[in-house]
Amino acid sequence: MAATTETPLAPTASIKARLSLALLIVLVTLGLAIAAGANLLFERIQMRLTESDLSNATERLLAAIRPGSSGPQLDLSRLDAAYQRPLSGQYFVIAVDDQHWRSRSLWDHELQPPPGPGKFTHTPGPAGQQLLLLTRHYERFGQRFIITAAQDYSELVAEFRRGLVVFLALWATALVTTLVALNLWMGRVLRPLTRARDQVVAIQAGERQSLDTDAPEELAPLIHQINALLAETRRALTRSRQSLSNLGHALKTPLAVLSALVEREEIRQHPSLHRSLREQVEQTTRRIDRELGQSSGASAGGVQTPFAPARDLPPLAKALQRAHNRVLTVEWRWEGQPHLPVERDELLEVMGNLMDNAWKWASSRLRVSVSHDDRNWYLTVEDDGPGIPDYARRQQVTERGFRLDESVAGQGLGLAIAADITAAWRGELSLETSSLGGLLVRVSLPVTGSRLP
């Protein structure tokens, strides 16, 4: 196949992926920062509260000390019931003289009193509790009381941690949802880009001429720019083809003069000179004819006339009959009124060259058929002449880029031009042996009918 499809470069990074990643980083950092901040704040507030609780507790414990018959006594009824419940989280130890009053809640746990008074200390408590301790020294009833109160804060911290986990879970869910939504939304936002890309592919395949201008505000200038570029390229291409075509045609008349001059008697008297001049004139002519064959699409000013065998081929046969001054039986084979999506002039050039060859070699008959399947149109030209028995030569004649210098007058050039045009329409030309005995040339053209630029 002639079409050169370039493999797209590995994308450096998709916009979608980049946006998602940025958003992910921002949201995760933010979530973690909020969680850490909340944690810190909570702990501080909690400590403060606990500290003031403890402060109050020592005061209340002091107030609950009553003078009794056998010295000061602790009036339990004036204290929080939590001190009576084992491992309730509220504890005290009061040291007076050599006695130690312990809250019942402590059960068999020993509170390690802190080294000095008035300071808060943390210490592990019973049953994995975290205790905050405060020890104060008081003088009352002439005695010295060392009151140590403790409160567990692990439960609150655990509670808060649970809350935090729920918060983080919700946060993560929100994050995932946002990313999915972003992806979907980006897909929608980027759809015009995807569409533009598909249209560029279609342009490359020759199925359309320009991009749809119906695009979002941000994309529209790009689309317009691309369309302008395409139009300019097409104009430049048409111009250069046109000038190639003009040049080719302009050279033909001086060549005709040369060709006539070469046949003058003065030159014919020098056979080797005559031969080389004639050779050069003919080579130049072949070269021009081949280039013109390739640029023959130039004349079409954008509007394509489809090739209709029933309309276009019989006049061609008439022209050939006139040109060769030879009447042959031509058998036409097609069904209905086929129309091929290929520029009439160009396919006429293909068929003209093929039938011209056939007319040259046929002994009496020609068969021309047009058919198609889902993928291709097939055009065949067969004759009952000698054909090309040499398989290698057959291959050579249809090879792409088959050199003109190698083409022997007669067979080569016409086939080469036909092969060039066929390749320009992304088709193929092959040579086979006809059931009529001569050469069968088959041209396959994709039904899409797109021409290389």
Partner 1 sequence: MRLLLIEDNVPLAEELLARLKNEGYACDWLVDGRDALRAPQDETYDAAILDLGLPGRNGLSILAEWRAAALPLPVLILTARNSWSDRIAGLEAGADDYLGKPFHPDELILRLRALIRRSHGADTSPHLTINGLSLDEGRQCAVTAGGTIDLTGGEFALLRYLMLHPGRVLSKGRLADHLYNLDSERNSNVIEVHISHLRNKLGKEVIETRRGQGYIFHGCHD
Round to whole Å and give the CA distance between 415 and 352.
10
* Binding flag, residue 297, partner 1 (CB under 8 A): no
Q: Which is nearer to partner 1, 165 or 257 (CB)?
A: 257
Identify which range of 72-80, 110-118, 333-341, 350-358 contacts partner 1 by CB under 8 A. 350-358
* Binding flag, residue 256, partner 1 (CB under 8 A): yes
CB of 425 to partner 1, least distance (A): 16
Angle, in degrees to the nearest 10, between helices 412-424 and 391-398? 50
CB of 375 to partner 1, least distance (A): 27
Residues 189, 200, 281, 452: which binds partner 1 (CB under 8 A)? 281
Residues 72, 125, 192, 352: which binds partner 1 (CB under 8 A)? 352
Residues 5, 12, 70, 253: which binds partner 1 (CB under 8 A)? 253
* Binding flag, residue 260, partner 1 (CB under 8 A): yes
List the x/- string, 303-342, binding to partner 1 by CB under 8 A.
Answer: ---------x--xx-xx--xx-x-----------------
* Binding flag, residue 296, partner 1 (CB under 8 A): yes
Contact yes or no for 442/398 (Cβ under 8 A): no
Residues 46, 130, 285, 433: which binds partner 1 (CB under 8 A)? 285
CB of 302 to partner 1, least distance (A): 17
What are the residues whose beta carbons fall under 8 Å from the beta carbon of 128, sequence distance 6 or more?
A: 154
* Binding flag, residue 345, partner 1 (CB under 8 A): yes
* Binding flag, residue 81, partner 1 (CB under 8 A): no
CB atoms within 10 A of CB 283: 13
CB of 285 to partner 1, least distance (A): 5
* Binding flag, residue 263, partner 1 (CB under 8 A): yes
Amino acid at 452: L
What are the residues whose beta carbons fall under 8 Å from the beta carbon of 193, sequence distance 6 or more?
A: 219
Q: Which is nearer to partner 1, 203 or 415 (CB)?
A: 415
Residue 131 — φ and ψ, nearest 5°?
A: -110, 145
- DSSP 8-state class, residue 302: S
Round to whole Å and give the CA distance between 437 and 394.
15
List the x/- string, 196-235, binding to partner 1 by CB under 8 A.
Answer: ----------------------------------------
What are the residues whose beta carbons fall under 8 Å from the beta carbon of 65, sequence distance 6 or more?
A: 72, 73, 74, 75, 94, 140, 141, 145
* Binding flag, residue 105, partner 1 (CB under 8 A): no
What are the residues whose beta carbons fall under 8 Å from the beta carbon of 334, sequence distance 6 or more?
A: 309, 310, 369, 370, 371
Report the alpha-carbon angle 340-358-413, nearest 5. 85
| Residue 130 CA: distances (Å) to CA of 88, 90, 159, 299, 432 | 12, 11, 13, 94, 97
* Binding flag, residue 257, partner 1 (CB under 8 A): yes
Contact yes or no for 193/68 (Cβ under 8 A): no
* Binding flag, residue 261, partner 1 (CB under 8 A): yes
Binding site for partner 1 (CB under 8 A): 249-250, 252-253, 255-261, 263-264, 281, 285, 292, 296, 312, 315-316, 318-319, 322-323, 325, 344-345, 348-349, 351-353
